[in-house]
Amino acid sequence: MSPDIDEVTWVAHHRMDVPDPDAATTDRARRALLDHMSVENERPRRRLPWLAGATAVGAGATAAVVLFASGSGGGSSNQSGASVTPGASAELAGKPSFVLLHLAHRVAQTPVLPGNATLVKRSTNIVAPGQAPSSLTGYDLYEDNGDYYFGKTLTSLRSTVSDPSASDSQDAALGQVVAAAAASANSTPSQAAEKLLAANPHPTPKVGQGTPPLTQAEADRDLEGIEWAAISSALEGGAGQPQVRAGAVLAAAAMPNTTVTSTTDAGQPVVKVTWTQGPENDEVESLVVNSQTGILLDQYTNGGSGGSVSNTTYQVSRVTAPGLDAAH
Amino acid sequence: MHQDTTDAALIRASRKDPAAFGTIFDRHWPRIYRYCVERAGPAAGEDVAAETFRVAFDHRKRYDGRDDAAPWLYGIASNLLRRWFRSAARGSRAMTRIGAEVTDEDLDDIVERLDAEYLSPHLRSVMAQLSPADRDTLLLHTFADLTYEQIARATDVPIGTVGSRMNRARALVRAHLETLELSHES
């Protein structure tokens, strides 16, 4: 191109050609905004939002969908004449993360990849005070029929899968958490969080339990820990199932004491959710998921002062059992 | 009714009736989406565009009352893009080099590289030479077709500052074009 051309024209000439957003993309953004709008009058509350307003959130979101479901264009008279049901949203206790809401809608639209099982390679590095760093690698195979197998190597995993008598059965509790997450894919964050909490195998911590008796803050923190573990388990055990991942991401959107960051990992856009266990406790845990698919990529735990630090990296692929050939 | 209503009237109405904000989304989503995707790529761009409307909704009570909300939305998008580039730069170094010390200068370099990464190869090197403010100004003008006055609203600076930024940006682009011409001749 000639240097005589105007600079602004030259820049404009070299723009990337970005098409208009397609219907699915627009729908994701609209739904995320709707979900956010449905709780807009609420002040965030620190304590356990999923226990207070699961039903209320659903009602609020549904009301907003009815008002704002016409798609692009000018809208109808219904949009100007009505308002989001104030009574419904007024009961809501917390404000879900918008980034995670948007991600969950995207993940829920993701198709299931071919194959009949999900292979997860887990590599964990642990650094503990006073000890040499250690590393662990293992392979989990989650078959779509609910069977679960583990091998320290791919060869040993293949051997186990080909001999069903030697197989592990999937932990029933994990199966329940995965099923709860799948059933939550199209619900609200607080509903998803509540379902995951109900499916977890641990007893609900109550104030006054134990010795010394649990305080309210301690019980809240324990409950957050149970929720966090359920989200993490669902993302691991349901790594190959978009509906499970969507449900887990929705539940994470309702978690208190978390920060959500959109960032990159090796040039790949990711979303990082970090749970801080409280002002008197400097322990921090993070989950990093692919910002398009919601697939778990990394999990970090930092035990705080004097504690250990660990990082688990996940490589998820769909395979066909029993040969474990790549399915795509 | 909404088709003929100004953005300002809709935003005002949305203070009592949040659903009215839906029309703001429908009107402006495609262009905000395209701008964000041009700047940050399809994945992050979509997220930033969606987040733009979330932030706009949360801040609608502070809207300046002008009829057209596009400059306001582009301003929010530009801030979010800059925040995303910075967050991505921090994230990329934190994830690849846990515990490694990286100076602010290093971070700025990564930010500028990321900010230019999704532009076309022709624009990448010259855009990386511009300051963030000059780059935003030039791209709001060329990609988003905003006037100087609209850019002033979007970036919350006087119109004279927009002119200065555009002059600097154009001078750098001109120098780049001259260099290209020289290299072609040799």
Residue by residue, DSSP assigns B88-108 as HHHHHHHHHSTT----HHHHH
The tens digit of pLDDT for each residue in B18-64 reads: 889 999 999 999 999 999 999 998 888 999 999 999 999 999 998 98
Q: Do B177 and A7 touch (CB under 8 A)?
A: yes
Is B1 within the bounds of a domain?
no
The burial of B151, by beta-carbon neighbours within 10 Å (0-12 exposed, 13-18 middle, 19 or more buried), is given as buried
Task: Choose, out of A42, A263, A295, the residue to mutate when testing the contact with B (most B CBs < 10 Å).
Answer: A263
What pLDDT is stored for residue B101 in this prediction? 57
Side-chain-side CA neighbours of residue A40 (13 Å): 26
Among the partner-chain residues A21, A74, A83, the one whose CB lies closest to the CB of B16 is A83
Q: What is the ipTM of this complex?
A: 0.87
Q: Which tokens is A282 given?
A: 């400097």
Q: What are phi and psi of A137, to 5 degrees?
A: -130, 140
Is B37 within the bounds of a domain?
yes
Residues of chain B with C-beta less than 8 angstroms from the C-beta of A37: 18-19, 21, 57
Residues of chain B with C-beta less than 8 angstroms from the C-beta of A42: none
Q: Do A64 and B18 touch (CB under 8 A)?
A: yes
Q: Do A84 and B18 touch (CB under 8 A)?
A: yes
Q: Do B43 and A292 touch (CB under 8 A)?
A: yes
Confidence of residue A68 (pLDDT cuts 50, 70, 90): very low
Nearest residue to A290 via CA among A259, A274, A266, A306: A266
Residues of chain B with C-beta less than 8 angstroms from the C-beta of A297: none
Nearest residue to A47 via CA among A279, A281, A286, A255: A255
Is B17 an interface residue toward A (CB < 8 Å)? yes
- The whole-angstrom separation of Cα A104 and Cα A99 is 9
Provide block-wise average pLDDT over 10 residues at a time, chain B (186 residues): 80 90 95 95 92 94 90 95 84 51 69 76 86 93 94 92 93 87 67
Q: Do B96 and A266 touch (CB under 8 A)?
A: yes
Is B2 within the bounds of a domain?
no
The tens digit of pLDDT for each residue in A202-248 reads: 777 888 877 778 888 888 888 888 899 999 999 999 999 999 999 99
Bridge partners of A276, per DSSP, are A284
Q: Do A40 and B57 touch (CB under 8 A)?
A: yes
What pLDDT is stored for residue B152 in this prediction? 94
Is B98 an interface residue toward A (CB < 8 Å)? yes
Predicted confidence (pLDDT) at residue A34 exceeds the cutoff of 60: yes
Q: Which residues contact A45 (CB under 8 A, 6 or more apart)?
A: A52, A93, A94, A256
Pseudo-torsion of CA A8, A9, A11, A17, nearest 10°? Answer: 140
Specify the range with the lowest mean pLDDT, choosing from A40-49, A163-172, B78-87: A40-49
Q: Do A265 and B91 touch (CB under 8 A)?
A: yes
Q: Do A8 and B142 touch (CB under 8 A)?
A: yes
- What percent of chain A has pLDDT above 70? 77
What pLDDT is stored for residue B184 in this prediction? 65
DSSP A222-272: HHHHHHHHHHHHHHHHTTT-HHHHHHHHHHHHT-SSEEEEEEEETTEEEEE
Residues of chain A with C-beta less than 8 angstroms from the C-beta of B122: 14
Residues of chain B with C-beta less than 8 angstroms from the C-beta of A38: 18
Predicted confidence (pLDDT) at residue A90 exceeds the cutoff of 70: no
Residues of chain B with C-beta less than 8 angstroms from the C-beta of A15: 38, 120, 123, 142-143
The burial of A113, by beta-carbon neighbours within 10 Å (0-12 exposed, 13-18 middle, 19 or more buried), is given as middle
- Cα–Cα separations (whole angstroms), residue A309 to A139, A259, A303, B28: 22, 19, 6, 45
Q: Which residue has the tokens 């979330």?
A: B54
Strands A148-151 and A134-143: antiparallel
Is B19 within the bounds of a domain?
yes
- The whole-angstrom separation of Cα B128 and Cα B137 is 14
Average pLDDT over residues A174-180: 90
Is B34 within the bounds of a domain?
yes
0.80 exceeded by pTM: no
Three-point CA angle B110, B111, B116, nearest 5°:
100
Residue of A nearest to B140 (CA): A12
Is B51 within the bounds of a domain?
yes
The burial of A167, by beta-carbon neighbours within 10 Å (0-12 exposed, 13-18 middle, 19 or more buried), is given as middle
Q: Do A269 and B18 touch (CB under 8 A)?
A: no
- The whole-angstrom separation of Cα A58 and Cα A317 is 34
Q: How far is CA A107 from the centre of its chain?
A: 9
Residues of chain A with C-beta less than 8 angstroms from the C-beta of B184: none
The helix (H) or strand (E) run that includes residue B34 is helix B21-40
Q: Which residue has the tokens 């809401």?
A: A101
If you count residue pairs, one on A and one on B, with CB atoms under 8 Å apart, how many are there?
A: 175
The tens digit of pLDDT for each residue in A190-201 reads: 899 999 999 987
Quote the domain boundaries for residue B54.
7-185
Q: Which long-range contacts does B113-116 make (Cβ < 8 Å, 24+ apart)?
A: B114/A264, B114/B85, B114/B88, B114/B89, B115/B39, B115/B81, B115/B82, B115/B85
The tens digit of pLDDT for each residue in A261-306 reads: 888 887 788 999 999 886 666 788 999 999 999 999 999 988 777 7
Residues of chain A with C-beta less than 8 angstroms from the C-beta of B37: 18
Among the partner-chain residues A10, A261, A266, the one whose CB lies closest to the CB of B177 is A10
Number of structural domains (chain B) is 1
What pLDDT is stored for residue A77 in this prediction? 29
- The whole-angstrom separation of Cα B186 and Cα B184 is 6
Report chain A's mean pLDDT, rounded to a whole number: 78
Bridge partners of A319, per DSSP, are A117, A326
- The whole-angstrom separation of Cα B104 and Cα A255 is 32
